Amino acid sequence: MFLINCPFCGEREQSEFKAGGEAHIVRPKQPTELSDDQWAEYLFMRKNIKGIQFERWNHIHGCRKWFNMVRDTSNDEIKAVYKMGEKPPVK
């Protein structure tokens, strides 16, 4: 259990949120030209980092808005949250 600072609602319990997996996976611009390997890469392959990971979250039992998070997956410490479309923090 940890607290998440929703960029729209402020600090709430993690149980109000739904994790949406790795962030910044860009949807292919021309899907018809993708090879099977590239599709597999886009659909299935994940970084699954132990350490600092960029991910998407949804405040599903709150404002229901999506946002991004930087989190250390080795101890669940949240480093930053930022809105969709914003550039991820450098540090």
Partner 1 sequence: MKNKYSIFSLIKNAFSYHENWEKAWKDPEPKKEYDVVIIGGGGHGLATAYYLAKKHNMKNIAVVEKGWIGGGNTGRNTTIIRSNYLWDASAGLYDHALKIWEGLSQELNYNVMFSQRGVMNLAHNLQDVRDLKRRTHANRLNGIDAVYLNTEEVKKFCPIINTSPDIRYPVLGGTLQKRAGTARHDAVAWGYARGADEMGVDIIQNCEVKSIKRNGDAVEGIETTKGFIKTNKIGVVAAGHSSVIANMAGLRLPLESKPLQALVSEPVKPIIDTVVMSNAVHAYVSQSDKGELVIGAGTDDYVSYSQKGSHDIVEGTLNAILELYPIFSRMRMLRQWGGIVDICPDASPIISKTSIKGLYFNCGWGTGGFKATPGSGDLFAHTIANDEPHKLNAAFNLNRFVSGDLVDEHGAAAVAH
> Hey, is 37 helix, strand or coil?
helix
**Quick one: which of 34, 49, 52, 63 contacts partner 1 (CB under 8 A)?**
49
Kindly state whether residue 46 participates in binding partner 1, applying the rule CB under 8 A: yes
* Binding status of residue 79 toward partner 1 by CB under 8 A: no
Binding-site member from 10, 74, 79, 89 for partner 1 (CB under 8 A): 74
Query: Tokens 């998407």 sit at which residue?
Result: 56
Contact 68, 82 (CB under 8 A): yes
**Contact between 56 and 65 (Cβ < 8 Å):** no
Binding of residue 64 to partner 1 (CB under 8 A): no
Nearer to partner 1, 5 or 74 (CB): 74
Q: Does 25 bind partner 1 (CB under 8 A)?
A: no
Residues with Cβ within 8 Å of 49's Cβ and at least 6 positions away in sequence, in order, are: 73
